[in-house]
Amino acid sequence: MQKGSEELRQLLADALAGKQSRREILRRAAAMGISAPVFGALLAACGGGDDTSDSGGSGGGSQTTPSTGGDTTPTASSGDGGSSGGDGDIPEEVVIMQGVDANTLDPLLRNATPEFNINVHVFDMFTKRNPQTLEVEPHIVTEWKTIDDLTWEFKLVEGATFHNGDPVNADAAIYSFERCAKGKIGEQPVVQTITRLIGYESAEKIDDYTFRVKTSKPAAIFPDLLTSFEIIPPSVYTDADADTIAKVQREPVGSGPYKLVEWVKDDHITLEAYENYWGPKPKVKRVIFRPVPELSSRVVALQNGEANIIVNVAPDLVPQLDAGENTRVSQVTGGRIIFIGIRCDKPPFDDKRVRQALNYAVDFDSIRTALLNGAGERAATIVNPPHQHPDLKPYPYDPERARALLQEAGVPEGFEVTMDAPNGRYIKDAEMAQAIAQNFQDIGLNVNLRVLEWSVYAGELLPSGNPDPLFFLGLGAPFSGEQEIFYVHPDYSLNFTYWQHDEFVAKFAELSQTIDSDKRQQLMNELQEIIYDECPWVPLWHQVDFYGVTKTFPWEARPDERIFVGDVGI
């Protein structure tokens, strides 16, 4: 205890003296079990400013998390979430290497994190998420309140403009909702967030910077879902014709800290700082996203100084990069759930005993040792903290039980099945799929593994709505509970399991109209129990994200997977 007290005193002294970056101070505090807000309070009590929290902006104003029932929030802070800190080397140009290129930059058509990582620089989300606490905070929406159970009022920051010079105002906000809910986009995941989870019905302009939204049901997670919803200029995003829709997919116009310079497909996307940005001006003036499918090529580029951030570093490479002269690794357990989806409309997988057998068949401990360098844990549920069911445990590895269930369900030895998997999108995705295919072979199935490049997987296979009976996928990274559970709802556009369960649908409808937090958690637990028993998925793991980073570049990974450099050094 005395040693811990001495460590804390030394940490406070170092923070007050400015001996280390804010990020390093927070790391040391976290290692001692002290959260950022608590450490900030301790520091303030010692006479220092509460500069350890990443929840503030540049203006020194107070900032609180909104609540329902008429309470409002005072001020917005700019940037997308304080994912960086410290006084490291901040170059004017930053190169970010992802495994894949974007398919579209239309805010309503994007459905993959690599696309969102670009959009979060070009567009402003209505709200933002604190990268440490994951709480929702103001952004271009400065405050909000509930007028009644079905009406929300929002106020926008004043003086912001889009990259084409149009004002950011209530008209733009209302158009953003209207295009989403009533445009020609179709049942995209972003659209379903607004129409299904929020229950958007209409919006009303109160004044130039104030608007109200009417919903068909109480929507407790409305502000949460707005952390991933972009505001757009009406003059650009018209759905008048197919040519216009195609153009805005390639040439996005937002109000974010960066604007598009050029997009050379499969080579690079270049962004530059927007000189009239409403918030603090980014210290990084130019951001280049390069799609590099091969991890080895990304690693070499980082080591040679050709990249500042690379994604999906294999766990076995972490020691090498951490020991590098100019490289390091930033890692975090993210919100992405990696799983095997099961087509419940295809015999024999319409029998839950067969789906349970697949869950018993996976030897995740061996996979973790062989492919993940011991990182991560087998997932029991599709839901992220803090809404995970506390009592559900992962299906144990039990091949004998799996074989017995297949026999009980009448599945013949050697039954042939095809499993689809991507290559280069997730950590060790193709290799992990190969190992799981072998696990399924070991219980008597004859598995044909079909590995596809992500551009084909996401651009052709999934949009067809007709993957093979087994498919490898990752979805993330929300933290609302309700949104994760919606992933297996029959109405979700990326639910290719086609699982149907009347009790689940009815209970989810009850959840979506419930405001009380305790009751919501009870319903989420009950829904997780249904999913656990029915097994429309084989949950694998909540992916631990490893990023290679230039050693002196003060950027850190965040649980929601967002790569945002506009606030580095701010």
Q: Is the Cβ–Cβ distance between 562 and 525 less than 8 Å? A: no
Ramachandran quadrant class, 199 (left: phi over 0; alpha: psi -120 to 50; beta: rest): left
| Residues β-bridged to residue 148 | 151
* Residue 145 belongs to a domain: yes
Beta strand pairing call for 200-207 and 286-291? unpaired
* Residue 500 belongs to a domain: yes
Give the pLDDT of residue 7: 62
Rounded-to-integer distance, Cα 365 and Cα 378, Å: 8
* Residue 449 belongs to a domain: yes
Beta strand pairing call for 286-291 and 93-98? parallel
Give the pLDDT of residue 311: 96
* Residue 223 belongs to a domain: yes
Strands ordered across the beta sheet of 327-342: 258-264, 268-273, 286-291, 93-98, 309-310, 537-550, 327-342, 470-475, 415-423, 445-453
- How many domains does the chain fold into? 2
Q: Which portions of the chain are predicted below pLDDT 50?
A: 1-4, 35, 37-38, 41, 44-45, 47-87
Its domain, for residue 175, covers 103-239
pLDDT digits (tens, 9 = 90+) for 269-311: 999 999 999 998 999 999 999 999 999 999 999 999 999 999 9
CATH number of the domain where residue 133 is located: 3.90.76.10
Rounded-to-integer distance, Cα 274 and Cα 124, Å: 12
Same domain, 339 and 214: no
Give the pLDDT of residue 85: 41
* Residue 40 belongs to a domain: no
Give the pLDDT of residue 453: 93
Entry pTM: 0.75
Q: Is the Cβ–Cβ distance between 544 and 315 less than 8 Å? A: yes
Q: Is residue 549 packed enough to be buried (19+ CB in 10 Å), middle (13-18) or exposed (0-12)? A: buried
Same domain, 375 and 479: yes
Same domain, 530 and 394: yes
Same domain, 206 and 351: no
| Residues β-bridged to residue 446 | 416
- With a CB cutoff of 8 Å and minimum separation 6, the contacts of 369 are none
Same domain, 410 and 522: yes
Give the ranges where 362-470 is alpha helix by DSSP (H). Answer: 364-371, 399-408, 429-442, 454-456, 462-464
pLDDT digits (tens, 9 = 90+) for 140-157: 999 999 999 999 999 999
Give the pLDDT of residue 451: 98
Rounded-to-integer distance, Cα 273 and Cα 279, Å: 12
Same domain, 414 and 539: yes
Same domain, 215 and 348: no
Give the pLDDT of residue 196: 81
Same domain, 515 and 389: yes
* Residue 268 belongs to a domain: no
From 179, 212, 239, give the residue that closes a domain: 239
Same domain, 235 and 340: no
Rounded-to-integer distance, Cα 441 and Cα 419, Å: 12
Same domain, 525 and 417: yes
* Residue 339 belongs to a domain: yes
CATH number of the domain where residue 512 is located: 3.10.105.10
Rounded-to-integer distance, Cα 384 and Cα 479, Å: 6
Rounded-to-integer distance, Cα 399 and Cα 447, Å: 16
Same domain, 423 and 538: yes
Structure tokens at 552: 């002196």
* Residue 57 belongs to a domain: no
Rounded-to-integer distance, Cα 567 and Cα 137, Å: 15
169 three-state secondary structure: coil
Beta strand pairing call for 309-310 and 93-98? parallel
Q: Is the Cβ–Cβ distance between 145 and 66 less than 8 Å? A: yes
Residues 441-467 as b/e (b if ≥16 CB within 10 A, e otherwise) read eebbbebebbbbebbebbeebbeeeeb
From 208, 223, 239, give the residue that closes a domain: 239
From 239, 263, 279, give the residue that closes a domain: 239
Q: Is the Cβ–Cβ distance between 232 and 123 less than 8 Å? A: yes
461 three-state secondary structure: helix
* Amino acid present at 249: Q
Same domain, 496 and 384: yes
